Chain A
Amino acid sequence: MIAGVLGVVLCVVVLVVSGLVALGLTRKPQVAGAVAASGVVLGALLGLWPTVRVLAGGASSEASASWSLPGGTLAVGLDPLTAFFLLPMLVLGAVAAVYGREYLLLFADTRRLGFPFFGFNLLIASMVMVVLARNAVLFLVAWETMAIAAALLVSFEHDRPEALRAGWVYLVVAHLGAMCLFVLFLLFKASAGSFDFAAFAQTPPVGSAAVAVAVLALVGFGSKAGFVPLHVWLPEAHAAAPSHVSAILSGVLLKVGFYGLLRVFQLLGTRADWWGPALVALGISSALVAIVVALYQRDFKRALAYSSIENVGVIAVGLGVSFWAGSRGHPRVSALALAGALMHVWNHAVMKGGMFLVAGSVLHGTGTRDLEQLGGLSRRMPVTAVAMTVGVLALSALPPLNGFVSEWLLYLSLLRLGADGAGPLPLLLVGMLALVAALAALAFVRLYGVVLLGQPRSDVARHAHESSRWMTVPMLVLAGLCVAMAVFPGFVLAALDGVRAQVGGPALFPADQLSLGRLGAFNLALWAVVLLGGRLFLGLVVRRPVTEDDTWGCGYPEPTARMQYGARSFSELASEQVLPAMLGPRVTRVKPVGLFPGAARFSADDRDPLTRRWYEPAFARVAGWLASLAWVQRGVLTAYLTYVFAAVLAALLWVSLRSGGAP
């Protein structure tokens, strides 16, 4: 085992090489899948050792080699911040790769699988490279590779227009973000004179340049993390991508945005006062909007994707509260919020990764993501049902699971803030966060009920089948991690200590550490009590006479499965009566009228409300303005070349006039 950063570099090499071999074996999908997946597992094992050592308090390490690209050096480094983001990449990457091999092979008859296998390995490798890079040029090369690999994987089912569109939208947003990053690094370069991070940290930009850097980081990295309103790519991409890729996108790729933010904040050195409130505002608005929209989704994976935005928002709120409280002299609050935010990064990777695998298993078993077609799957897919139960409870931030632990830390930080008497505004945040958590529980109990419970709503659901072990075991592994992280939060906290120090946050107070340990014990006890209670109850059921009968239909003799409360009806009260109509689906209905009514119709458009209400009208208007320029589009190649020629001449003229007579 190679310790230090070179071990992780070796992991990248293994990932890329195995991916290339798989690409070469396109004609033998079985072999290609095995090579690619074992490459990821091997690479993850190679990378885990140095990563865990750094997280356990081992020394950071760096390496660099010269590179002939202008401004570029092959500088890489492994410090706690890198290791913190590396760990979920490697763990989730390996689990998803094993799952993905089996998942993709289902398409073996209809599609060529060489690229998807290669693309997955490339995606993981480029993400690892992004967090390793210590040079802006290397960082950007890895960043772009990551975006392109992800976009191509998103368009895997390229004969479906929505998949192509999703990949396209993703590319556009990714490049808008990358554009911000180019400017950001140029600003760094302007003050440091080099593209190396080490030089950035020596002489960071100050004054208005520092403000510009922070804003660009919030936009550039924020679009990757999925802050509202830059989130539009996210639900489309997560829904269209193969499920194991969705798991990686949501579990890890979004977090790379946070890596960038934290890295830039660290390089900037001095912390500005406005970062905290800005992050809180971005985070809470993202969380509120996203969880409301998640409640209305009809597509399983889109609902999960919106919940990812919500969780990203929660992480941002945690970071923001930590920064804010740190600058206002509340170290205890700051420590709690930071611990909550960091822990939530890991927790969300595990639980949402697991849930996307569950969604993939359901998609595999039934062939649909449409919630109105599902139902009653817990009988036909028992293992998936268990994994989904754990994932749903964790994502609803309910005890005794890990999602609750990190949100507990966050709420506790706000309670402490209240106890310190910090004025009403931060305290109201508690109310908003509570609303977010409660709506998350509402959204996920809906998902849970509509997918797993009741009666099947369609033939495909009636004839669903459980996935093979290659797919169920990865789901159970992640579900097990959810439980373990809830029961041993102290252990997780200890692993976060290095990052905490690097980000510059205070350590958790001993009293709070004690409480966290107690919470873990309480979670364990809750598991024990619930399992014991369930066992006792089942014992009682066995000893009593049991009658099996139909569900009580309230006097209606012929109920059908279609009369059940479905995905839409479950959220109707919320969408029509309670929550803002602005975020709700657009409903069109034709009611039956008169004695001999005609056909009645009902449809609800659950596309992203911001896309529908802001972006699409805005783009349509721009297209309207541009229509008057349609004559430019001649369809004659030489005409286009003339435009280029004219542009070149104009540029030359401009340059020469500007330097006009200087020599």
Chain B
Amino acid sequence: MGFASTLLVIVLLLNFFMLGASRVRAVINGSAMQGVVLGLLAVSVHAHLDLEIVLIALVAGLVKGLLIPRMLMKAMRGGAIRREVEPLVGFMPSLLLCAVTTGGALVFSSTLPLAPQHAGSLLVPTSLATVLAGFLLLITRRKAITQVVGYLVLENGIYVMGLMLLEAMPFLVEVGVLLDLFVAIFVMGIIINHINREFSSLDTSRLTALREE
């Protein structure tokens, strides 16, 4: 389990990296790294390997680590987006917030009534912390493209939680992986393109125009 714990810590660190990075490209790379790590995690968490788990790991790693980041990069180039992140909340405050939420996640998960085999593991706190970090990214960043990354990070957190359940309910995890694919198509294709076309910019603050008067 040592290897798995190391991977989980890397996931946590990547959360901080993404919140602290000032370049959009770095944020995307961070999410790609996280995706690859999660793929490895699926294999390492479980003592015995079977085909199903390997497949899930492969698909997750490919989609999260390669496919979606590539598409994001492409969208960045196509959308002529400035490279700066343009945060609504500064880098230092967001890092601080992330530290608070990660600490909170560790405290929360120690109070949760977990099954004995998960009690000491970092899986649950990492999952919660990643979900919350994803939220922070979503809230504190203005650009649509960084928001997509935020959503991906949030999803990564849920995926970590799903790994815990992989043996009990493989179906749910499969559905989760499929959902990733769906997000890739949906978020990328529809949201980014639409914002770009309708508002000729990738700034979500323009969506205020849709507000009901």
Contact = CB atoms under 8 A, between A and B. Distances in A.
A648 B127 CA distance: 13
Contacts of B117: none
Interface in A605-663: 633-638, 641-642, 644-645, 648-649, 652-653, 655-656, 659-663
Contacts of B111: 655-656, 659-663
Contacts of A655: 108, 111-112
Interface residues of B, number: 32
A659 B111 CA distance: 7
Contacts of B204: 637-638
Contacts of B108: 652-653, 655-656
A638 B107 contact: no
Nearest to A655: B112
Interface string B128-140: 1001100110111
A652 B88 contact: no
B147 A637 contact: yes
A633 B212 contact: yes
A110 interface: no
A490 B139 CA distance: 71
A663 B170 contact: no
Given A656-B107, A663-B110, A638 B140 contact: yes
A351 B142 CA distance: 61
B169 interface: yes
A641 B148 CA distance: 13
B171 interface: yes
Interface residues on A, range: 20 to 34
A510 interface: no
Nearest to B171: A68
B113 interface: yes
Contacts of B171: 68-70
B113 A662 contact: yes
A70 B169 contact: yes
A635 B112 CA distance: 36
Query: Which of A634, A642, A653: most chain B CB closer than 10 A?
Result: A642
A428 B3 CA distance: 80
Interface string B200-212: 0000110111111
A644 B135 contact: yes
Contacts of B211: 633-635
B13 interface: no
DSSP class of B's interface residues: helix, strand, loop or mixed? helix
Interface string A222-239: 000000000000000000
B172 interface: yes
Interface in B79-113: 88, 104, 107-108, 110-113
A539 B140 CA distance: 91
A659 B139 contact: no
Contact of A635 (B88, B135, B169, B208): B208
Interface in B151-185: 169-172
Contacts of A642: 139
B113 A641 contact: no
Contacts of A638: 88, 138-142, 204
Interface string A8-29: 0000000000000000000000
Contacts of A644: 135
Contacts of A633: 211-212
B135 A636 contact: no
A648 B154 CA distance: 12
Contacts of A648: 131-132, 135
Contacts of A652: 104, 108, 128
A625 B212 CA distance: 17
Contacts of B208: 634-636
Interface in A256-306: none
Contacts of B113: 659, 662-663
Interface string B34-49: 0000000000000000
A68 B211 CA distance: 42
B51 to A, nearest CB: 16
Interface in A519-546: none
A661 B111 CA distance: 6
Given A648-B131, A663-B111, A663-B113, A636 B205 contact: yes
Interface of B: 88, 104, 107-108, 110-113, 119, 128, 131-132, 135-136, 138-142, 147, 169-172, 204-205, 207-212
12 contacts: A70-B171, A634-B208, A635-B207, A635-B208, A645-B135, A649-B132, A652-B108, A652-B128, A656-B108, A656-B111, A661-B111, A662-B113
Given A636-B208, A637-B207, 19 more contacts: A70-B172, A634-B208, A634-B211, A635-B208, A635-B209, A636-B205, A636-B207, A637-B147, A637-B204, A638-B204, A644-B135, A645-B132, A645-B136, A648-B135, A652-B108, A655-B111, A656-B112, A662-B111, A663-B119
The 4 closest A-B pairs by CB, nearest first: A635-B211, A68-B171, A635-B208, A656-B111
